[in-house]
Structure 1
Amino acid sequence: MASEQKQEYLAEKEFVDEKFDIERSSVILEEDENSPIPEVAAIVSNKDDPSLPVLTFRFWLMAILFSIVLSFFNQFFWFRTQPMTISTLVIQLLSYPLGKFLARVLPSGFLNPGPFNVKEHVLVALTANCAGGTAYAVDIIVIQKVFYLQDFGFGANFLLILCTQMLGYGMAGVLRRYLVYPAAMVWPANLVQVALFNTLHEDENLQAGQWSRFKFFLVATFSMFLYQWIPGFIFPVLSSIAWICWIKPDNLVLSQLTGAGGLGFGAISLDWNNIVSFLGSPLITPWWAQVNIGIGFFLIAWVMVPIAYYTNLWEAKKFPILTPALFRDSGDAYAPLSILTEDKLLDETKYAAYGPLRISTFFALTYGIGFAGLSSMITHTWLYHRHKLVAQWRQSRDHSEDIHHKLMQAYPEVPDWWYASLFLVMTIVAVITCEVWNYKLPWWGVLLAIAIAAIFSLPVGLIQAITNQQPGLNIITEYVIGYMLPGRPIANVTFKTLGYISMAQAMLFVSDLKLGHYMKVPPRAMFWAQLMGTVIAGLVNLLTANWLLSTQKDVCTKNNKLFSCPSARTFYSASVIWGVISPNRMFGPTSMYNAVNYFFILGFLLPIPFYYLKKFYPNTILEYVHIPVLLAATGMMPPAQAYHYTNWLALGFAFQFFAHRYHPEWHLRYTYVMSAAFDSGVAFMVLLSFFIFTIRDKAMIDWWGTRSDLCPLEGEPYYPVEVAPDA
């Protein structure tokens, strides 16, 4: 049976282009039937015990505790100049000994139904996972208070966070038939968590001298914890070694090309947190996807951008080569409040007198590539996945894809009306919030944003489930509402959040459902766990943000070196471009940036020739080309910088190519565990340094290794402001 499934899977190349080249002979199976995916078969158990208790007192206690702690720290670190995300993997580690301890000390019965089991453990982690991210709507609150000097109050803020974070539930209820049940929908990031659960809960059959996963995890975690003090505190220069720039730091072009704040040619990072901060772990993204990302990055950041900059496209030399900042035509900083009314709407007269908005050529090209990536996703999904989607729709009610789906039939599924009711209620809350507190977004705008999220959720999910990369809808949502409601910055970011984050949250919930699917957790228990984690996170995120906004001087500005909020400032720039100025003025027929609109057409057409080339030349390198992933490569720039990509790809080559190909058994056993261990070691170091130093306002003594001015010209324009040539 397993052999037949595997053959069917490999035959259906139209659905999954990825090739798992590990031989099945390297995987020792406990039963004949297993997943047709080698990585899944090696990591995920094909057995289940439906009698294990799940919604226990221990679960509720730990889930609430860790959700509060994780949401607080991640929101806190999100404000920092060097952001840090504490992974849910840390909660997996901490909850294991605590669960064992509670099972030992609590009285038997309701409070203690028996040994702490893996399903309780998974459910704690799922709850924390829903609480671990920072609510995107917090960005709206931050820019309102810091940049637009506006505050709608705690009630409005909380309702906005709640509805934007929970609308994705309804979409997840529909998408589970396409993105959870099928074996081909791997969700590679989940395999890291599964590996850690197995490490903690299962006995391993080890060969002589072979380390257990748990021993490997402990050693790797402790090693990273010790090491991270060097780049993270003692010697921060190691986080971005722009050694070429150091050769002649007063050379402007050399600084722009090789500086960490420029294009990062040759820049090296020895800081795990720095490498994974924007793209996630390179140890879990498939190598073929990393190759697409690398090609996309090379063509965009290292070919297109330097050519455009040094040929002075759109007067690029007036501005730094890599920046999300906003400028006047002279090269001075743009002041959006100078052109707004008291209600924070565009004043046409003031705008005409103040002048047009200018952005760096890189920033403009990034938007163009985003346009192309979005349209290519539509074409790619239609060409490669349409037949499979139709078949899955017909078979979704009664078809078992693999052993894991069969084992899940032991548990009652969540009724569709649960998801539908929650989706409807949150839609109503969103409409009421925007109307009552005058976000300048009418009811039809709310419904349109939600519709965009719903339409794109499936194609985005297909890409993420296979490649571990998520194309964003932030650009298209900004674009659409910017044309429909120009001059309304708060309406623009609210529409973007409803349209983009509703989809992103749906992907989070679906990914968690897949994790529960792998670990055989009852679906109804997952539903309530996800719901609780999301509500707790929204409340804690808001309280933490309000605390920092009220206690930190010059928070989210460059004047505050510790809490400068790079993501919020990029969010603010986007609100000005798409909301205040509007896409018609920025990219319309009379704008110098009008050409970026043609990227929509380019992206739509680009997958077509590669689709037919693959048919004419099967089993070649063309099989690995994935246009949406390639075009989405630089989607995190800014705030991500070029050297983040190069160092991420270097580690990816070491593990997802070299170790995968030449040491497959080691790779299958230890790579995902190593990723979890490195994340955990960094997180423990950051937490400890926070309590010892940050909270007491202490820092490392100044020396050469703590300097940030070793490449002082990397963020400077080619033409200084005072001598910039006339337009």
Structure 2
Amino acid sequence: MDREDDATFEKYDYDSEKYNDDLEGQLELNEEDDSPIEEVRVTVPNTDDPLMPCNTFRMWFLGLIFTGIISFVNQFFYLRHTQISIGYSVVALISLPLGHFMARVIPTRQFSLFGRSFSLNPGPFSIKEHVLIGTMTACNTGTAYAVDIVILQKVWYHSEKPFIAGLLLVLTTQVTGFALAGALRKVLIRPAHMIWPSTLVTASLFRSLHHSIEREEDHGRMSRMKYFLIITLGSFIYYWFPGYIFPTLGMLSWICWIDPENVVLSQLTGSNGLGIGTIALDWTAIAYYVQPLVTPWFAQVNILVGFILVAWVMVPWAYYTNLWNSKLYPILSAELYREDGSPFDMEQILTNGVLEPQKYIDYGPMRMDSFFALTYGVGFAGLTATVVHVVLYNGKELIQRWRSARQENEDIHSRLMRVYPEVPDWWYLSLFAASVALSLVTCIVWDYMPWWAVLLALAIAIFFVLPVGIVQAVTNQQPGLNIVTEYVIGYMLPGHAIANVTFKTYGYIVNVQALTFTSDLKLGHYMKIPPRIMFMAQVVSTVIAGIINLATASWLISTRPNICTKEGFPFTCRSTNTFYSASIIWGAVAPARVFGNKDGALYSPVQWGFLAALPYFYTNGLFVGFIFMYLLRRFRYNWWSRYNYLTSAALDSGVAICGLVIFFVFQSSGIEMPYWWGNPQDGNYDHCPLGYANANGVVH
């Protein structure tokens, strides 16, 4: 928003809390005029400064610069054996001094354009500018999913498409989901009980970085900024140990050390096995699946129960009773095998990337370990449980909200957002129509998949976006559509690997992007960012990031010999190799030959997971979650309300900065930590050699 009152801004120096204490005509607030949600009430201020600048030159300059840098760096390291990802917290920390620097040196001269007056430097660097810079990079910290399709075609299937085909594939899958967010605003953003817990961590981070006034009740307590810096420094220093000096700290499989050569003990307790009793003293491992300081405790309990049931009960039962001849394969692996336990060679069954049924019959059926198979079953179950839960517990409420959202009683944050013009519906509709049209053109012209498959994939994404969004907004967990999309198209177009992964990308990523943008809109809701500016910043940064992602991957494919193979180290493309395996399972071989009853399939019971109601399972962080989200919240509430979400942000920041320093200063220069017990040369950090008995005997 343009600066409207220079004198007012100079007087209050853009501090929103102080400004709103004195701003003439501000809303009359009292202690009860706040969010009804406890977590929001203790994290997000119930005030706003509508005149605070955010749509500024320095916001766009820094936001686009960081978008470009992060898109290149994260795509570059995505294909490396050691993956590095620059995240939200790093950008927030680096952009803060840069924003203040620009506010000091850029001329304050007024310019006129199309009858409007503006300045390149409207005053001190504001928290709203900072949030927008972080948001422009947040949705691009992960690389564009469709880039893997381009890599897959050239490296594995030897069928390269024109650059424009890959670019349109990337852009349409990344942008189409944004259009769906417009339809979700009424039910996933405005209602107070749609919390979106992860946004509270971000809000706490920015609030601490810009908080300059201590209230009366804060006297005698450590300031949020000081606390954040101390925890960040501590996290930075500590991560040198599990991240470089002492990697064994990240996987202390102490039970296995009783008898390291015992295969069964290693399978059950080793970090590369089922990990029973394994202790992880590494924040990256603790927070990898479940953000333990963010996810509500009731959701963590569900995760714990589901994890124990599947990973520590069902999988050992399946393996040691030799279900599906499981003992011929490792107890835990993402690799694919032949019936005798030898690796499955995909080249033996494909012609031009399409399955030859007779070749498959002659070569023999594909097999996988029991954990891999049961994981798919749990994925089926989790998605079904999501839909059933939302229909049973939220169906009537959703219908009411959909009909009368604008007439409902709103909390303070919704009322404060009334001052900002909402994004017109035609913006979302136009974006959606253009994206769908380009999707159809892309898939038909370059033969990715039939037109009806494009529409079906988008229909699946749209059908699940609301129930999945409700689950994520309340529990901080997002059930993915990757399995169901692979399953559907695998039966409809069996034998076509590229069509399978393309369908999955449109059905899965469109859904993910819709919820990513919705989450960002909720952050903007909490931080009082004008919706139109948030919309433009997100769309523009996403388009730029997609172009850079694809250009970076194409450059590496063309210049790095043996890329995505062991011989191409360090560019071994670990994640893309998994993507390739999925294309074989669901696309080339297809579900009928894996989970059905065709050509030697064994895993048909897994499909019945669609009828069960099991939650997703995760491995790390639940003990930490018990401490922070249950014990401290219940018995040390004052500390928890002030520092909990800030602790999560600080730990993330310290680890991210340390990881970058370790890689760029040491590992990229070939300076490795000397090998010792805590950093073994063979990479077996938990000192538990994982073995299994295949047709040739025990293999380590």
TM over 0.5: yes
Contact 1:357 1:586 in 2 (8 A): yes
- Residue matched to 2:64: 64
The amino acid of 2:622's aligned partner reads L
- C-alpha separation between the residues in 2 aligned to 1:665 and 1:143? 52
Quote the offset at 1:362 in angstroms: 1.1
The amino acid of 1:321's aligned partner reads I
Q: What's the secondary structure of 1:487's corresponding residue?
A: coil
- Residue matched to 1:623: none
Quote the offset at 1:84 in angstroms: 4.2
Contact 1:329 1:356 in 2 (8 A): yes
- C-alpha separation between the residues in 1 aligned to 2:343 and 2:514? 38
- Residue matched to 1:691: 664
- Residue matched to 1:320: 330
Aligned with 2:593 (options 571, 582, 585): 585
Residue 125, structure 1, aligned to residue 100, structure 2: no
CA deviations 1:156-196 (Å, max 9, x no partner) are 22211111111101110101111001001000000011111
- C-alpha separation between the residues in 2 aligned to 1:239 and 1:72? 29
The amino acid of 2:675's aligned partner reads D
Aligned with 1:356 (options 350, 360, 365): 365
The amino acid of 1:720's aligned partner reads N
- C-alpha separation between the residues in 2 aligned to 1:502 and 1:185? 21
Pairs within 5 Å for 1:598-637 = 598-603=608-613, 631-634=615-618
- Residue matched to 1:386: 395
Q: CA RMSD in A?
A: 1.8
- Residue matched to 2:17: none
Quote the offset at 1:585 in angstroms: 1.3
CA deviations 1:447-469 (Å, max 9, x no partner) are 11011000100000000000000
Aligned with 1:255 (options 238, 242, 266): 266
Pairs within 5 Å for 1:631-710 = 631-634=615-618, 645=619, 647-707=620-680, 708-709=683-684
Quote the offset at 1:34 in angstroms: 0.4
Pairs within 5 Å for 1:168-207 = 168-202=177-211, 203-205=213-215, 207=218
- Residue matched to 1:241: 252
The amino acid of 1:183's aligned partner reads A
Pairs within 5 Å for 1:363-442 = 363-439=372-448, 441-442=449-450
Aligned-pair identity in percent equals: 52
Q: What's the secondary structure of 2:617's corresponding residue?
A: coil
- C-alpha separation between the residues in 2 aligned to 1:175 and 1:240? 41
- Residue matched to 2:299: 289
- Residue matched to 1:220: 231
- C-alpha separation between the residues in 2 aligned to 1:715 and 1:506? 40
Quote the offset at 1:508 in angstroms: 0.2
Contact 1:48 1:520 in 2 (8 A): yes
Contact 2:176 2:510 in 1 (8 A): yes
Quote the offset at 1:92 in angstroms: 1.7
Quote the offset at 1:712 in angstroms: 6.8
Aligned with 2:356 (options 347, 354, 367): 347
Q: What's the secondary structure of 1:107's corresponding residue?
A: coil
- C-alpha separation between the residues in 2 aligned to 1:231 and 1:712? 15
Contact 1:84 1:273 in 2 (8 A): no
Say if 1:561 and 1:650 are closer, same or farther in 2 by CA, change over 3 A: farther
- C-alpha separation between the residues in 1 aligned to 2:632 and 2:514? 33
- C-alpha separation between the residues in 1 aligned to 2:558 and 2:245? 30
Quote the offset at 1:567 in angstroms: 2.5
Contact 2:498 2:583 in 1 (8 A): yes
Report the TM-score when normalising by structure 2. Answer: 0.90
- Residue matched to 1:595: 605
Quote the offset at 1:138 in angstroms: 2.0
- C-alpha separation between the residues in 2 aligned to 1:268 and 1:544? 38
- C-alpha separation between the residues in 2 aligned to 1:224 and 1:633? 27
Q: What's the secondary structure of 1:396's corresponding residue?
A: helix
- C-alpha separation between the residues in 2 aligned to 1:633 and 1:80? 28
- Residue matched to 1:447: 455
- Number of equivalenced pairs: 655
- C-alpha separation between the residues in 1 aligned to 2:551 and 2:140? 14
Say if 1:702 and 1:365 are closer, same or farther in 2 by CA, change over 3 A: same
- Residue matched to 1:74: 74
Contact 2:458 2:507 in 1 (8 A): yes
Residue 722, structure 1, aligned to residue 696, structure 2: yes
Report the TM-score when normalising by structure 1. Answer: 0.87
The amino acid of 2:201's aligned partner reads V
Say if 1:312 and 1:559 are closer, same or farther in 2 by CA, change over 3 A: farther
Residue 543, structure 1, aligned to residue 551, structure 2: yes
Q: What's the secondary structure of 1:34's corresponding residue?
A: coil
- Residue matched to 1:266: 277
Residue 47, structure 1, aligned to residue 14, structure 2: no
- C-alpha separation between the residues in 2 aligned to 1:503 and 1:459? 11
Quote the offset at 1:558 in angstroms: 4.8
Residue 231, structure 1, aligned to residue 206, structure 2: no
- Residue matched to 2:313: 303
Say if 1:87 and 1:723 are closer, same or farther in 2 by CA, change over 3 A: same
300-309 vs 265-274, which moves further: 265-274
Quote the offset at 1:716 in angstroms: 2.9
Quote the offset at 1:392 in angstroms: 0.2
241-250 vs 165-174, which moves further: 241-250
Aligned with 2:541 (options 509, 533, 554): 533
Q: What's the secondary structure of 2:696's corresponding residue?
A: helix
Q: Which runs of 5+ in 1 are unaligned?
A: 1-28, 604-629, 635-644
- Residue matched to 2:584: 576
Quote the offset at 1:672 in angstroms: 0.9
Contact 1:262 1:714 in 2 (8 A): no
Contact 1:31 1:46 in 2 (8 A): no
Contact 1:74 1:84 in 2 (8 A): yes
The amino acid of 1:221's aligned partner reads T
- Residue matched to 2:3: none
